[in-house]
Amino acid sequence: MDAFATIVGAGMVGLAVASEIGGRGQVYVVEREETYGRGTSSRNSEVIHSGIYYPPGSLKAELCVEGNRLLYEIGERNGLPLRRTGKLVVAVEEGQEGYLHCLKENGESNGVEGLEVLSAEKVRKLQPYLRARLALWVPSTGILNAHKFMDYFYLKARERGVEFAFGVEVVDISRVNGGFEVEVREPDGSPFSFTTEVLVNSAGLYADRIAGLLGYEYRVHFAKGVYFSLPPAKAELVDVPVYPVPDRYSLGIHYKPELDGRGKLGPDIEYIEYEDYTVPPERAMDFYKSVKSFLPFVEPEDLVPEMAGIRPKLQGPGDDFRDFVIRQEEPGFVNLVGIDSPGLTAAPAIAEMVAGML
């Protein structure tokens, strides 16, 4: 075999896995973009989630809570940019209050500590510019700079001898005695192939295609979300992330203070067929309407189109909750499919889980 292990995709998850299994033998990471972190890992809210939302016992719940702990540990030990802000989930309409109590119970079942339901008065004292009938305080939520964490995992992987092939796309995989043969397209378009004992599929939006090359059927739906930014003069009025009561598919258009002093509103959700990262400026009005009930100081002209990201979701329109798929499908082949939110938070815990399988 040419390699002990090959990881397809150098996003936050592939990088964390590489840093974890590096040194066990020759490990390669194959990434079709010209460098790491160009996919979903660089187009998201950069929130360290707590794990309150997911069904108890799900991988999303377990790996989010553990990933949260690990990200703070790694960040604080290595001086990486993060801030333990806490967050508020706010009830703004009559009838939403009960949901916050359910969310608190759910979070506690998942092992999230320090959750507290706050009265409107208490919220006003903590964040005078915010409006809420009631709010859930989640102290373990934080914000991070995803690129700096990816730099950290990349360098750690390199130190452990992992080799990266950038601009190289995996186009086919077949089974051979004792492992797999991986066919790739090199940056100049020429074909190349090599053999590997272990293959980890962390190809994000295209993880279903990679799984399909070995006959495993999944459908990853593209769920786009766009963001608008708020100027520092407005962002400084509220210094914690604020989330509305979530809907079935997403956590809702939320507010997040950025590490650079600006604020961010988003993401919305729209199922699309192809990768498209445009931000329609006319959507600013919908965003304004969504947040004005809890951020009354925001004016439509504050909103500036920022960026878009695409969630790789197993949950299609009309479907119920779908968990991450993290599975050794056959000896040596590990699928990581449907790694949507909270995948950034869960990444170091996913890496430990994958390392434990091999």
49 binds ligand FAD (CB under 6 A): yes
Q: Which two tokens stand for residue 131?
A: 């409006």
- Choose which of 66, 169, 208, 302 interacts with ligand FAD (CB under 6 A): 169
- Is 82 a binder of ligand FAD (CB under 6 A)? no
Rg (CA), the chain: 21
Name which position in 3, 5, 13, 230 contacts ligand FAD (CB under 6 A).
13
Query: Do β-strands 304-313 and 221-230 pair in parallel, antiparallel, or remain unpaired?
Result: antiparallel
State the number of binding residues for ligand FAD (CB under 6 A): 41
Rule CB under 6 A: say whether 140 interacts with ligand FAD: no
Alpha-carbon dihedral 281, 283, 287, 288, rounded to 10 degrees: 70
Are 175 and 81 in contact by the 8 Å Cβ rule? The answer is no
Within residues 215-244, the interface with ligand FAD by CB under 6 A covers 225
Closest approach of ligand FAD to the CB of residue 149, in Å: 11
Comparing every residue's Cβ against ligand FAD, the nearest one is 343
Q: Stretches 20-28, 55-63, 289-297, 306-314: which one binds ligand FAD (CB under 6 A)?
A: 306-314
The token pair that represents 289 in the structure block:
């309407």
Contact flag: residue 59 with ligand FAD (CB under 6 A): no
Residue from 36, 35, 29, 37 nearest 5 by CA: 29
Minimum CB–partner distance for residue 57 and ligand FAD (Å): 19
Return d(Cα 320, Cα 58) in angstroms, integer: 14
Q: Which is nearer to ligand FAD, 40 or 196 (CB)?
A: 40
Q: Which residue has the tokens 């990816």?
A: 150
- CA dist., res. 116 & res. 136, Å (int): 6
Quick check: 257 binds ligand FAD (CB under 6 A)?
Answer: no
Closest CA to 127 of 301, 298, 294, 265: 294
* Binding of ligand FAD by 103 (CB under 6 A): no
Q: Which of 6, 19, 44, 196 binds ligand FAD (CB under 6 A)?
A: 44
Among 21, 74, 344, 351, binds ligand FAD (CB under 6 A): 344
Round to whole Å and give the CA distance between 123 and 133. 9
Q: Binding residues for ligand FAD, per CB under 6 A?
A: 8-14, 30-33, 38-41, 43-47, 49, 169-170, 202-206, 210, 225, 267, 309-311, 339-345
